[in-house]
């Protein structure tokens, strides 16, 4: 390993604000943050050796405290590449979450049906696969699709995280999934290119298929270089377009604690942006309450 890579692994990176701003927007009861991660605490939950960087611990206690401040009552924790295929940190956070926390696991396509059943019983509602340049995908799309009948057997869905340009080739393949498909972070489109760009238009066309959901998380990622005063304006425009057109198949998340980012977002700002992303009481309720309940099934936790 080169010296620069070694330094990246040794140096711990702060990825979240310990004291984010308090949002002005009051969220509805049972509001759900549908995309977060937990890191550590170490050494109880060690980081994966193959990780690309070393974030500081962001344990379940910090997550619970954040949600208490923001007025969020439910949550879906997505397994991070920081812990690799060891889902124990997420499983622990689910177990201590009082039925309000569920999960999405990282698995290999060769995962056994027995392990999928165990994860489902522990509160995992889906599995995630990455198709990003900065992340090793670990599988090709055919292997992933071959897994989906097994996911159907245990009541899990498929979650995918991909480069925006891949929507054109992956979209057609993902239509063959035997389970619902959840697309991360608005397909990682570049908000600076606007709603008419071919990648965003392909995402919209894909979502015309009712087997697809999209997370309107990541306004801070798709518009990551916006000036602070703009408050991710271009990302908000795209998120609102998705919420208004696909109101029954959108969910939202903070993406706390914001790993692999250009900056550390203020979670209070991300919550307040919801007043523009879902500008009516009905849209906000669908985005934060009804749709997460339907997709993740909290009552069966």
Q: Which domains does the chain have, with CATH numbers?
A: 3-11+25-300 (3.20.20.140)
Q: Note down pLDDT in tens along the chain; length 301 residues.
A: 443 444 455 689 999 999 999 999 999 999 999 999 999 999 999 999 989 899 999 999 999 999 999 999 999 999 999 999 999 999 999 999 999 999 999 999 999 999 999 999 999 999 999 998 656 555 789 999 999 999 999 999 999 999 999 999 999 999 999 999 999 999 999 999 999 999 999 999 999 999 999 999 999 999 877 776 677 999 999 999 999 999 999 999 999 999 989 999 999 999 999 999 999 999 999 999 999 999 999 986 5
Q: Which residues are catalytic?
A: 255
d(CA 220, CA 261) in angstroms, rounded, equals 9
d(CA 29, CA 249) in angstroms, rounded, equals 19
Angle between helices 141-153 and 113-121 (to 10 degrees): 60
pLDDT at 169: 92
The pTM of this model reads 0.94
Contacts of 86 (CB under 8 A, 6+ apart): 45, 46, 48
Specify the residue for token string 């509602």: 125
Closest CA to 257 of 244, 270, 245: 270
Q: How far apart, in Å, are the Cα atoms of 242 and each of 65, 283, 288?
A: 30, 11, 14
């Amino acid at each position: 390993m080169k010296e620069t890579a070694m330094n990246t692994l040794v140096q711990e990176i702060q990825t979240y604000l310990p004291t984010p701003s308090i949002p002005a927007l009051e969220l509805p009861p049972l509001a759900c943050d549908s995309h977060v991660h937990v890191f550590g605490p170490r050494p109880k939950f060690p980081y994966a050796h193959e990780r690309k960087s070393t974030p500081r611990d962001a344990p379940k206690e910090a997550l619970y405290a954040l949600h208490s401040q923001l007025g969020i009552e439910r949550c879906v924790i997505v397994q991070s590449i920081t812990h690799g295929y060891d889902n124990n940190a997420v499983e622990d956070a689910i177990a201590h979450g009082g039925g309000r926390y569920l999960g999405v696991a990282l698995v290999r396509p060769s995962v056994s049906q027995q392990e999928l059943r165990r994860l489902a019983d522990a509160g995992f509602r889906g599995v995630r696969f990455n198709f990003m340049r900065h992340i090793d995908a670990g599988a090709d799309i055919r292997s992933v699709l071959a897994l989906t009948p097994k996911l159907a057997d245990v009541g899990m869905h498929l979650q995918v995280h991909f480069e925006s340009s891949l929507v054109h080739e992956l979209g057609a393949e993902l239509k063959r999934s035997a389970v619902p498909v959840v697309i991360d972070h608005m397909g990682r489109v570049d908000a600076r290119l606007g709603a008419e760009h071919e990648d965003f238009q392909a995402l919209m066309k894909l979502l015309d298929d009712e087997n697809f959901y999209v997370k309107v998380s990541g306004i801070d990622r798709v518009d990551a270089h916006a000036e602070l005063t703009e408050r991710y304006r271009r990302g908000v425009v795209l998120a609102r377009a998705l919420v208004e057109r696909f109101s029954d198949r959108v969910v939202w998340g903070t993406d706390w604690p914001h790993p692999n980012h250009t900056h550390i977002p203020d979670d209070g700002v991300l919550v307040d942006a919801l007043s523009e992303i879902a500008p009516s009481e009905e849209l906000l309720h669908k985005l934060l309450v009804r749709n997460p309940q339907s997709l993740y099934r909290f009552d069966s936790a």
